Structure 1
Amino acid sequence: MENRSHALMTGFFTITLLIAAVLFGLWFNRDRVERVPYMLATTQPVPGLNPQAAVRYRGLDVGRVSDIDFDPKVTGQILVSLNIDPDTPITRSTFATLGYQGVTGIAFIQLDDEATGSPRLATNSTNPSRIPLRPGLFDQLEKRGKRILAQSEEAATRLNELLSPANQKVILGAFADVSATANAYRALPQQLEPVIARLPALADQAQGTLQSVSALAADATRLTRKLQAPNGPIERISGTVERVGLSLEAVGNGVELEALPHVISLTEDTRASMRALKNTMNNLNERPQSILFGAPGTPPGPGEAGFSAPTK
């Protein structure tokens, strides 16, 4: 009995010692740093994030996650409570993302700032300030991966449409046409051999033609020089034309001096004849009987036989 009582006392003492050691360890390792509260409000999923997860500012450990819960005021929104060291430069442009430790899947809050020198973000325990949570690297990769998968699926669908039986026949027909065209091109060198054989002769003929053209150009140059030489044909023709012009000018002056007065006199006679003709036509219009009986005589004047004074 005495041995059993000693064993029981030893067991109680061992258990008490273990409990005291655990409590001492917890008390010794408890966090004595006073932290300020902040809040994350997000509708994004937060996989792998648990209470007491680390909060890091640009890689430095600055706090812990104290609580994760749903927002009772906004359906579907998650509230993440943070306790952060008061010396951490949390500003109005600070934002948070989810980071992951290696391949374990354990998440932590990564804080970063868009700019330096921004105003500090004030907070208090009754109304913690909120820090926006942005999509992290894995969230962006997930979105882009979904987009890439959708595009790959669309490309596969289009490829299946391209490789449909009808399109396969068209593609095979196109390959057959290309093969026939290639066979036709193979026969071209044989057809071009006679033409290629004639190329040297054509080149010699072209060279001879060029020499003839050069000789013709030289002859034209010599002819031009002869025509433009002093006392040459062009100068003699110019002198002849000038003399003919002077002769024509003299003839014109003679015609103006001799024939012009006669023309003026003839014009005046013609004008007088036209006046007489006009008078005759007027008389005929007034006395048509004058054609048969002639023109009436001149009435006698005072003192002549047959004169009678007009009565009032």
Structure 2
Amino acid sequence: AGLKVEAPVLYRGVHVGRVESIAIEPGMSGRINIRIGVQEGTPVTKSTYAQLGYQGVTGLAYVSLNDDGSSAELLSAAGGEPPRIGLRPSVFDSGLDMIATIGELAERLRSGAKDFPSLVGDARGAFASLGALSHKLEERSLAFDRMSTSLEEVGNAARSFNDETLPRFNSLVEQLNRDTRALDRVLNALDENPQSFVFGAPRKKPGPGEPGFSDGGR
């Protein structure tokens, strides 16, 4: 990052010390320890963090100490080891990451642009299929309309049958009922006087004033 020994250390923009050493931490590949010395009384707390800053014209790096205010407890040494201050990405580092991200996004857009014509073709095919489906649905709708008309005609024919044919049918049923009752009367008469079926019904005796009338009481 361009940081060197004797680089300045700033606490919220105020010069408070210098970088004393830069070394790879033993047994921790890829981790670098930056040992700094600061003036006595510098309020380094558990919420103090370090960032790398860069001087405008020269571009030389320095250590910038800041505090997010989450803890007021002063940082102290433990087990004979000097206290450790966490390092956070600087604004410059964040900018580099953002540039890299934008470059990656641009590359993806370029790759996607190659597939854009095929996507357009797929979209056109989908719209064509949608149009065909709409046409088929319209045909089905017309078929249902024709079926509804046919059912209505059947209903009209049924109503015509009820209005014209049913009264004549009822008249025939009534006549059949009358004939059935007359036949019942004939059968009852035969049951009471079977010989009348051969000799006919007995004659009625003549009444007073009729020929052949006789008064047996005189």
TM-score with structure 1 setting the length: 0.37
Aligned to 1:147: 101
Cα deviation 1:129-168 (Å, max 9, x = unaligned):
000000111111111211111111111211222146x958
Instruction: Kindly report which structure 2 residues correspond to 1:130-209, keeping only aligned pairs within 5 A, or say none.
Output: 130-163=84-117, 167=120
CA–CA distance in structure 2, aligned partners of residues 163 and 104 of structure 1: 49
Q: What is the letter of the counterpart of residue 55 of structure 2?
A: Q
Provide structure 1 residue ranges, at least 5 long, that are not aligned to the other structure. Answer: 1-46, 175-312
Aligned to 2:77: 123
Cα-Cα RMSD? 2.7
User: Which of residues 45, 59, 62 in structure 2 aligns to 1:108?
Assistant: 62
User: Which of residues 26, 31, 48 in structure 2 aligns to 1:77?
Assistant: 31
Q: What is the letter of the counterpart of residue 130 of structure 1?
A: R
Q: Is the 8 A contact 2:9 2:19 kept in 1?
A: yes
Q: Is the 8 A contact 2:46 2:71 kept in 1?
A: no
CA–CA distance in structure 1, aligned partners of residues 8 and 103 of structure 2: 33
Task: Establish whether residue 65 from structure 1 lines up as the match of residue 13 from structure 2.
Answer: no
Give how far 1:104 is off. Answer: 2.2
Cα deviation 1:214-267 (Å, max 9, x = unaligned):
xxxxxxxxxxxxxxxxxxxxxxxxxxxxxxxxxxxxxxxxxxxxxxxxxxxxxx
Cα deviation 1:44-63 (Å, max 9, x = unaligned):
xxx11000000000000000
Residues 86 and 146 (structure 1), Cα distance of their counterparts in 2 relative to 1, 3 Å cut? same
CA–CA distance in structure 1, aligned partners of residues 108 and 54 of structure 2: 32
Provide structure 2 residue ranges, at least 5 long, that are not aligned to the other structure. Answer: 128-218
> What stretches of structure 1 move > 4 A for 4+ residues in a row?
none
Bigger helix fraction? 1
Q: What is the letter of the counterpart of residue 64 of structure 1?
A: R
Task: Establish whether residue 95 from structure 1 lines up as the match of residue 49 from structure 2.
Answer: yes
CA–CA distance in structure 2, aligned partners of residues 125 and 96 of structure 1: 22
Give how far 1:124 is off. Answer: 8.1
Aligned to 1:10: none
- 1:157 partner SS: helix
CA–CA distance in structure 1, aligned partners of residues 111 and 47 of structure 2: 45
Number of residue pairs aligned between Structure 1 and Structure 2: 125
Give how far 1:123 is off. Answer: 3.3
CA–CA distance in structure 2, aligned partners of residues 72 and 117 of structure 1: 30
Look at both structures and tell me which one has the larger radius of gyration over its CA atoms: 1
Q: What is the letter of the counterpart of residue 87 of structure 1?
A: G
Aligned to 1:17: none
Q: What is the letter of the counterpart of residue 81 of structure 1?
A: R
- 1:51 partner SS: coil
Give how far 1:103 is off. Answer: 3.8
Residues 134 and 145 (structure 1), Cα distance of their counterparts in 2 relative to 1, 3 Å cut? same
Task: Give % identity.
Answer: 35
Q: Is the 8 A contact 2:5 2:21 kept in 1?
A: yes
